[in-house]
Amino acid sequence: EAAVTQSPRNKVTVTGGNVTLSCRQTNSHNYMYWYRQDTGHGLRLIHYSYGAGNLQIGDVPDGYKATRTTQEDFFLLLELASPSQTSLYFCASGGTGVEQYFGPGTRLTVL
Amino acid sequence: KTQVEQSPQSLVVRQGENCVLQCNYSVTPDNHLRWFKQDTGKGLVSLTVLVHENDKTSNGRYSATLDKDAKHSTLHITATLLDDTATYICVVGDRGSALGRLHFGAGTQLIVIP
């Protein structure tokens, strides 16, 4: 069974704060993705990666950085968090095919 | 512009009833379409994937259709259970590989009441 874990599951920070969201996959997948989910919108792609050290910009990258340190680990960084970044964040991994396996999500609140 | 539109936005049914969820999209090319179930506060779980024109799939009480000419898909849930309460998300992929992009609908929130 594919496994994608995220931490923390919930995070509250203040405007201007520094936040790191972590994602780990044990599927040996090359591809990893960060999405955000907001009410009234479908999931939107922030950043993604083809492998360790690789980073690609998604559709809504402003205000976010990402790092892929190993095949298993993908991090999303908010260096100056803003209230507009309050959202539910999902990490996903995928192989060479079309299927993506999603983590349980991290709920981030920026006050 | 939203490329995947789902309707209704929300739906309440009684346990045991059937329901139909709709997905219209404008994604081009449309390589495949997948339906996900998302329980509150949880990740997305794949229910079924449709690839070919006029595809029909069945997965237990879930069945789906795809009309690529009309760029339209339906998800049928028969004999609903309380555990079917969730958000159902339609996703269209524009390629048949990981190099493609996924286009997500905003979801239909289904509530099943006793």
Please give the average pLDDT of every successive group of 10 residues along chain B, which has 114 residues. Answer: 92 97 96 94 91 91 96 97 97 84 94 97
Q: Do B104 and A43 touch (CB under 8 A)?
A: yes
Count of Cβ atoms closer than 10 Å to residue B86 Cβ: 19
φ/ψ (deg, to 5) at B83? -70, -10
Q: Do B98 and A44 touch (CB under 8 A)?
A: no
Share of chain A above pLDDT 90, in %: 86
Interface-testing mutation among B102, B103, B108, B109, with chain A (most A C-beta atoms within 10 A): B102
Contact B23, B75 (CB under 8 A): yes
If you count residue pairs, one on A and one on B, with CB atoms under 8 Å apart, how many are there? 53
Tell me whether A34 touches chain B (CB under 8 Å).
Answer: no
The two structure tokens encoding residue A9: 């599951």
* Residues A5-59 pLDDT 10s: 999 999 999 999 999 999 999 999 999 999 999 988 889 999 999 999 999 999 9
The two structure tokens encoding residue A82: 């803003």
Gap between the Cα atoms of A39 and A88, Å rounded: 9
Angle at A93 between CA A25 and CA A80, to 5 degrees: 85
CA distances from A31 to A2, A60, B105 (A): 13, 18, 22
How many residues belong to chain B? 114
Q: Is the bond into B29 cis (omega within 30 degrees of 0)?
A: yes
Gap between the Cα atoms of B91 and B60, Å rounded: 20
Count of Cβ atoms closer than 10 Å to residue A17 Cβ: 15
Tell me whether A94 touches chain B (CB under 8 Å).
Answer: yes
Contact A65, A58 (CB under 8 A): no
What pLDDT does A1 receive?
57
Q: Pick the more confident residue, B92 or A98.
A: B92
CA distances from B25 to B3, B29, B62 (A): 5, 11, 20
Q: Do A104 and B105 touch (CB under 8 A)?
A: no
Q: Do B43 and A96 touch (CB under 8 A)?
A: no
The two structure tokens encoding residue A93: 């991994």
The helix/strand count (H/E) of chain A reads as 0, 11
What pLDDT does B41 receive?
81
